[in-house]
Amino acid sequence: MSQVATVESAAIQEVQAASSSAELRAIEIKYLGKSGELTTLLRLIGTLPNEEKPKFGQQINEAKARVTALIEERDAALKGGEMLAQFEREKIDITLPGRPWRIGREHVLQLTANKIRRVLGGLGFRYIETPELEHVNYNFAALNYPPDHPAMDDQDTFYIDDDTVLRTQCTAMQGRIFEKVKPPLRYFTVGRTFRNEAVDRTHGHTFHQVDAVMIDEGISMADLKGVLELFAREMFGENAQVRFRPDFFPFVEPGVDYAISSPKFAGGRWLELGGAGLVHPNILRAYGIDEEKYSGFAFGLGVERIPMLAHGVDDLRHFLENDLRFLDQFTSEI
Ligand code: FA5
């Protein structure tokens, strides 16, 4: 047998015995690669007499073609089998029930804010947002706090620098509104507020407030009382009542704090919600609002208080801890 035939038959045997496409690839390189056994036989051509050279070359080429064809055939068969095995390994049971998507929902404080926006919007108040990082002037001086007045100590403040604070109260919106809008006006905001307070069940360093202000002709405490009573009924039910007690805030005169009572909560126990009063004359004057013609009221309240009492939540820290076991309990407006 010629040398070419010997190498070819060895190649054919190996190709037939190959048990994987990777093994086949190695055999292909061994015989047909650049330094493969069949390829390198060509070098012998130089040792042959001239008349035998073409024949020898042809023999090699034919042998290579046969081996190549056989490799291709074997490769297709092996790959087919390997693919089936892979499908088998990766098979999934499409009859298994799917995993349900976890759909997010609004946070209980957001649900509460939505309702507040609906109710105050319905009373003709326009919603506005003002910065959480606030100029110290809007947070205090514009609200009639004298410099270094002890009232500022009530609201332990996070100063960012001498001019900038994390707002301690949403009432800080007032100066921004009065600078731009002339009365009659009715605005409210719902937003985040910050105080450097010792955190406990009812006090956070970060909490939320609603603030509202209305200025028009002939506004009195009776209007304030009417609006807060309506607000309380919408938020807490038909039988909710509002109680006012005198209190001091530099930006109102007279000032009150107010509490809510509703049969829904603790059998009608009073719940303190926020502060309110008539806009202080100093503020009206500072913004050029004609005191003879206009007067106004303002109120502010803690948002967390509402779901706390509506749902009997005993610690406001739960609201911001992101424990889904807690949050998942609240699916609709309060
Ligand atoms: C104020 O912040 C006034 N700006 C309210 C106001 C507005 C009065 C307009 C008059 C006119 P006070 O500091 O009391 O007031 O806070 C109002 C409400 O925010 C409180 O009744 C309480 O419900 C809530 N609150 C205050 N501090 C915290 C706190 N650390 N954590 C949670 N809620 C708080």
Per-residue pLDDT of 26-53, as tens digits, reads 999 999 999 999 888 888 888 888 998 8
Tell me the mean pLDDT in the region 54-63.
90
pLDDT bracket for residue 333 (50, 70, 90) = low
Residue 24 Cβ inside 6 Å of ligand 1? The answer reads no
State the closest ligand 1 atom to the C-alpha of 299, by its place in the atom list counted from 1: 9
Q: How do residues 121-133 score in pLDDT, each as one tens digit?
A: 999 999 999 999 9
Phi, psi (rounded to 5 degrees) for 279: -55, 130
Tell me the mean pLDDT in the region 2-20.
91
Q: What percent of the chain has pLDDT over 70?
A: 97
Q: What percent of the chain has pLDDT over 90?
A: 64
More confident residue, 286 or 149: 286
DSSP string, 273-313: EEEEEEEPHHHHHHTT--TTTEEEEEEEEETTHHHHHHHT-
DSSP state of 328: T
Q: How do residues 235-287 score in pLDDT, each as one tens digit?
A: 888 888 899 999 999 999 999 999 988 877 777 788 889 999 999 999 999 99
Residue 304 Cβ inside 6 Å of ligand 1? The answer reads yes
Tell me the mean pLDDT in the region 135-155.
83
Helices (H), the chain: 3-17, 21-32, 37-41, 53-89, 108-122, 136-139, 173-180, 221-236, 281-286, 305-311, 324-327
Residue 301 Cβ inside 6 Å of ligand 1? The answer reads yes
CA of 207 to the centre of ligand 1 (A): 10
Residue 169 · residue 193 · CB < 8 Å:
yes
Which residues, 6+ apart, have CB-to-CB distance to 236 below 8 Å?
260, 262, 264, 265, 310
Residue 303 · residue 112 · CB < 8 Å:
yes
Tell me the mean pLDDT in the region 95-106.
85
CA of 301 to the centre of ligand 1 (A): 5
Residue 189 · residue 129 · CB < 8 Å:
yes
CATH C-level class of 108-327: alpha beta
Is 167 in a helix, a strand, or coil?
Answer: coil
Q: How do residues 13-31 score in pLDDT, each as one tens digit?
A: 999 999 999 999 999 999 9
Q: How do residues 210-234 score in pLDDT, each as one tens digit?
A: 999 999 999 999 999 999 999 999 9
How far CA 248 is from CA of 59, 198, 296, 300, in Å, comes to: 111, 22, 17, 13
Q: CA neighbours within 13 Å on the CB side: how many for 120?
A: 24
Distance from C-alpha of 180 to C-alpha of 136, rounded to nearest angstrom? 19
Residue 25 structure tokens: 């690839």
More confident residue, 300 or 329: 300
Q: Indicate the burial class of 80 (C-beta count within 10 angstroms; 0-12, 13-18, 19 or more).
A: exposed
pLDDT of residue 1: 59
Residue 302 Cβ inside 6 Å of ligand 1? The answer reads yes
Tell me the mean pLDDT in the region 79-101.
89
CA of 205 to the centre of ligand 1 (A): 12
CA of 163 to the centre of ligand 1 (A): 22
User: Which one, of 275, 185, 269, lies nearest residue 228 by Cα?
Assistant: 275
State the closest ligand 1 atom to the C-alpha of 203, by its place in the atom list counted from 1: 31
CA of 144 to the centre of ligand 1 (A): 17
Return the residue whose CA atom lies nearest to atom 32 of ligand 1.
203
Residue 195 Cβ inside 6 Å of ligand 1? The answer reads yes
- Count of residues making up the chain: 334
CA of 269 to the centre of ligand 1 (A): 19
pLDDT of residue 41: 87
Q: Which residue from 169, 213, 297 has its CB within 8 A of the most atoms of ligand 1, so it is best to mutate?
A: 169
Is 61 in a helix, a strand, or coil?
Answer: helix
pLDDT of residue 151: 59
More confident residue, 311 or 146: 146
Check pLDDT > 80 for residue 327.
Answer: yes
pLDDT of residue 154: 61
Return the residue whose CA atom lies nearest to atom 9 of ligand 1.
299
pLDDT of residue 190: 97
Check pLDDT > 80 for residue 183.
Answer: yes
Return the residue whose CA atom lies nearest to atom 31 of ligand 1.
203
State the closest ligand 1 atom to the C-alpha of 170, by its place in the atom list counted from 1: 4
pLDDT of residue 168: 95
pLDDT of residue 290: 96
pLDDT of residue 114: 95
CA of 306 to the centre of ligand 1 (A): 13
Mean pLDDT of the chain: 91
Is 242 in a helix, a strand, or coil?
Answer: strand
Cis status, amide bond into 184, omega within 30 of 0: yes
